Amino acid sequence: MIRTFQQFGANIFSLKPAFGHKNVQILHISKKHLSGNSTNAGAVPHHPYHLVDPSPWPVMTSFSMLCLAMGLVLYFHKYAAGGTVLCVALVTLTYAASLWWRDVIRESILGCHTSKVKEGLHLGMILFIVSEAVFFVGLLWAFLHAALMPTVDIGMAWPPVGVVPVDWTRRPSLNTVLLAASYFSANAAKHAMDQGQKQACALNLALTIALGVLFTAYQYLEYSGAAFTFSDSIFGSTFYLSTGFHGFHVIVGFLYLAVCLATLKSASPGKSTALDLAVLYWHFVDLVWVLIFTLVYVWGGALPTAGVETCTDGLCVLQTVLRDARLDAFYHEPSFFEVAM
């Protein structure tokens, strides 16, 4: 099955003329062109950088992301056209990103990615990961701010009164095991590629992708069985924003690894820039999950210990009843091993 997938990837990312590449001569690329020292109208730019050809994919991708954000807003506000706009934006975004990725892969195969270009790609990925890290810091900051200083609106308690959090000993723990295993399989794939062992690299990549797909499936089941929604106080909104955006990054990560697996057959044995960046991104996803699991599930979802209290007013009685009901619902769910089986 892995070989069939690689053959499919070889057909998708074949060396047919891409947008802007009208006369691609694969077997007649001069050394001067590969080094970037080509002449243009009398100018001799001595630089190792590859000047990309005009492409519509960046503009199309940006416009699709704008439509995707608009579609999400319309969908959440229950407009009739929200679902249609969201689906069309997803299709166009997938199409544009795929063709953009295809052109980058073709440039790499044609030898346009010099050592300086590879350094720029690594730096770009690092800056992208830093920006994503700041984004997740903002989400976790909002969660911690609400948890450490609960307001009267949520009963001066965390989790809020009436909210039954997800039991972290069930699917969240299983997902942690899956991502921990994928961390080692991704490293094994990178090490195998560095050693020129394509078959071992393909097997470990397939294992990492499978673990990522399982993680996404279990998170969907977790969302389906959760006792609270996005609208249930600040707890629900910060919980679903943090875990949902991480789940989206997991999907992007295993799709990136799938592209690496699909193009592995045409890649040269040894160091692979694309695979190195994919594994680096996957490690970032793993690290973010460790923080989310620790802060959101284990610490933020822990229920307060029930104590002996004397109620003197109706509000105290109501809070006690809600707390007891919440504890009962929390501790009488199926165990982690029952769900895993």
Cis amide linkage into residue 159, ω under 30° from 0: yes
| DSSP one-letter code for 286 | H
Question: How would DSSP label each residue in 78-129?
Answer: T-TTHHHHHHHHHHHHHHHHHHHHHHHHHHHHTT---HHHHHHHHHHHHHHH
pLDDT of residue 3: 59
Total structural domains in the chain?
2
End residue of a domain, out of 50, 78, 112: 112
Q: Is 40 helix (H, G, I), strand (E, B) or coil?
A: strand
144 in the same domain as 220: yes
Closest Cα to residue 99, out of 51, 55, 54? 55
Instruction: Please name the residue that has the structure tokens 């989206």.
Output: 248
From first to last of its 341 residues, what are the pLDDT tens digits of the chain?
Answer: 555 555 545 554 444 444 444 444 433 344 444 444 444 444 555 677 767 778 898 999 999 999 999 998 999 888 988 889 999 999 999 999 888 888 887 887 777 777 787 888 889 999 999 999 999 999 999 999 999 988 888 888 888 888 888 989 889 999 999 999 999 999 999 999 988 888 999 999 999 999 999 999 999 999 998 888 888 889 999 999 999 999 999 999 999 999 999 888 877 777 788 899 999 999 999 999 999 999 999 998 876 654 444 454 556 656 666 666 665 555 445 544 455 55
271 in the same domain as 302: yes
CATH number at residue 184: 1.20.120.80
244 in the same domain as 128: yes
206 in the same domain as 90: no
- The region, left, alpha or beta by phi > 0 then psi within -120 to 50, assigned to residue 20 is left
CATH number at residue 42: 1.10.287.70
81 in the same domain as 2: yes
* CA dihedral of residues 292, 295, 300, 306 (deg, nearest 10): 130
Instruction: Please name the residue that has the structure tokens 């619902």.
Output: 329
End residue of a domain, out of 70, 89, 112: 112
Domain that holds residue 241: 114-341
Q: Can you tell me the distance from the alpha carbon of 247 to that of 250, in angstroms, rounded to the nearest whole number? A: 5
Rounded to 5 degrees, φ, ψ at 43 are -85, 145
13 in the same domain as 128: no
Q: Which two tokens stand for residue 8?
A: 């499919």
Closest Cα to residue 107, out of 40, 11, 21? 21
| Under 8 Å between Cβ of 298 and 176 | no
End residue of a domain, out of 74, 92, 112: 112
Q: Can you tell me the distance from the alpha carbon of 76 to that of 49, in angstroms, rounded to the nearest whole number? A: 44
